[in-house]
């Protein structure tokens, strides 16, 4: 009001003389940090005071009180208003920065919480999927692996075996052992299915105790079990077959009756050189044929079918379903079996 009043009375110091520098100072208050606005205000006041005091560049000392008041008002405008505006702007900036930091901190906290929730849900989902996968590959009665597990696992095992065989040059055999409980139907018919289930569980425990790290036992179906044994020297195959047979026979079962088994063995690879060796499905067919040879010739024993110099694998796999006997008689296969394998059972004992 003082500046306006003075300017209206044709003072030495017209109101327009302060408009441009004051505008620049106000602009700097919004644009720059307060220190620069303060510096600009101080320089402007010093410049105006110096010019007025010296009477230079059209500036004259105030000749009367009104002009002095007006000059002081100009000084006040230059010195106080930009600084006040700068202080307010700076306070607002600091408030905005504080609010921004709080918003960032809250957002970071929410992100951490969300990531933790997502991680927990992901872990729970992975654990649930793992449990489902394990359950889908596990026999519920015995707790052993099932056929699905074998189908998923055996290709990797054979690939690893082939790499090791190429690296070491050893002629060890990966062994498939198909174990069938003898006369299991009699146990179910005589003592009930609960007793039969108990026998299956106890046989699975016996077989599990016999395997080494890297071996595994599979519930193949019904009263049949499949053991996949890591590579061993071929001369020890009969030893392993007899060890399995004896362990099942010597165990004391809750049903109170002896339990024996028949075992068919197959050695992978079937051929060490020359012909292409059959895949694991064909090796199981060989083990199955050896198993049924044992069952047809006394049970409570083991047998393994091996190739000869006359073996034609395509012919063998085609004719194997009719039984191993014809292939043995034609010299396509040779047989190694336990001493417990006796002549064929009398009529009425050829069932499972």
Asked if 224 and 276 sit in the same domain, the reply is yes
Residue numbers of the domain that contains 108: 1-136
Same domain, 108 and 211: no
Domain co-membership, 113 together with 225: no
Q: Is residue 343 situated within a structural domain?
A: no
Q: 88 to each of 155, 281, 324, how far by Cα in Å?
A: 76, 85, 101
What are the distances in angstroms from CA 79 to CA 32, 84, 99, 197?
16, 9, 31, 100
Measured from the Cβ of residue 41, the count of other Cβ atoms closer than 10 Å reads 24
At 344, the pLDDT band (50, 70, 90 cuts) reads very low
Q: How far apart are the first and last CA of the chain?
A: 118
Alpha carbon distance 87, 79 (integer Å): 13
242 is catalytic: no
In this prediction, residues 104-113 reach a mean pLDDT of 91
The pLDDT, as a whole number, for residue 57 is 43
Last residue of one domain, picked from the residues 80, 111, 136: 136
Mean pLDDT of 47-71: 59
- Residues 177 and 314 reside in one and the same domain: yes
Residue 30, pLDDT above cutoff 90: no
Catalytic, out of 133, 223, 267, 282: 223
* pTM of this structure: 0.65
Whether residue 261 is found in the same domain as residue 130: no
Does the pLDDT of residue 340 top 50, yes or no? no
Q: What is the pLDDT of residues 202-241, one digit of tens each?
A: 999 999 999 988 899 999 989 999 999 988 888 999 999 9
> Region 132-139: what's the mean pLDDT?
86
Q: Is there a single domain that holds both residue 79 and residue 188?
A: no
Q: How many CA atoms lie within 13 A of 57 on its CB side?
A: 8
Residue where a domain stops, chosen among 117, 136, 155: 136
Say if 342 falls within a structural domain.
no
The C-alpha atoms of residue 35 and residue 45 are separated, in whole angstroms, by 15
Highest mean pLDDT among 120-134, 154-168, 172-186, 266-280: 172-186
Statement to judge: residues 155 and 294 lie in one domain: yes
Q: Do residue 1 and residue 67 come from a single domain?
A: yes
Task: Look at residue 318 in the predicted model and tell me its pLDDT.
Answer: 85
| Number of domains observed in the structure of the chain | 2
| The pLDDT value given to residue 311 | 85
Average pLDDT, the chain: 80
Structure tokens at 66: 């009104």
Clarify whether residues 94 and 239 are in a common domain.
no
Domain of 176, CATH number, reads: 3.30.70.270
pLDDT higher at 59 or 173:
173
């Amino acid at each position: 009001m003082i500046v306006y009043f003075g300017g209206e009375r044709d003072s030495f110091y017209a109101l327009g003389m302060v408009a441009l520098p004051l505008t620049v100072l106000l602009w700097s208050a919004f644009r720059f940090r307060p220190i620069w606005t303060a510096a600009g205000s101080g320089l402007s006041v010093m410049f105006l005071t110096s010019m007025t005091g010296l009477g230079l560049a059209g500036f004259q000392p105030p000749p009367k009180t009104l002009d002095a008041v007006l000059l002081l008002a100009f000084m006040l405008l230059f010195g106080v208003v930009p600084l006040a505006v700068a202080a307010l702007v700076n306070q607002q900036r600091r408030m905005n920065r504080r609010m921004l930091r709080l918003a960032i901190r809250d957002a970071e906290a929410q992100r951490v919480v969300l990531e933790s929730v997502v991680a927990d849900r992901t872990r729970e989902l992975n654990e649930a999927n793992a449990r489902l996968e394990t359950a889908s590959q596990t026999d519920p009665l015995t707790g052993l692996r099932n056929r699905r597990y074998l189908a998923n696992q055996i290709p990797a095992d054979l690939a690893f075996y082939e790499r090791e065989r190429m690296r070491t040059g050893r002629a060890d055999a990966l062994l498939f052992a198909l174990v069938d409980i003898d006369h299991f139907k009699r146990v179910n018919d005589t003592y009930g299915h609960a007793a039969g289930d108990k026998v299956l569980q106890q046989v699975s425990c016996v077989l599990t105790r016999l395997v080494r790290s890297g071996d595994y036992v599979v519930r193949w179906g019904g009263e049949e079990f499949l053991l996949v044994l890591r590579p061993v020297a071929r001369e020890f195959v009969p030893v392993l077959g007899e060890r399995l047979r004896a362990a099942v026979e010597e165990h004391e079962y809750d049903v109170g009756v002896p339990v024996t088994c028949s075992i068919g063995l197959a050695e992978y690879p079937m051929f060490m050189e020359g012909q292409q060796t059959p895949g694991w499905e064909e090796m199981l067919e060989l083990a199955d044929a050896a198993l049924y040879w044992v069952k047809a010739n006394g049970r409570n024993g083991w047998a393994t079918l091996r190739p000869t110099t006359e073996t034609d694998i395509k012919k063998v796999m085609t004719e194997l379903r009719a039984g191993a006997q014809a292939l043995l008689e034609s010299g396509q296969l040779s047989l190694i079996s336990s001493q417990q394998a006796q002549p064929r059972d009398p009529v009425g004992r050829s069932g499972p």
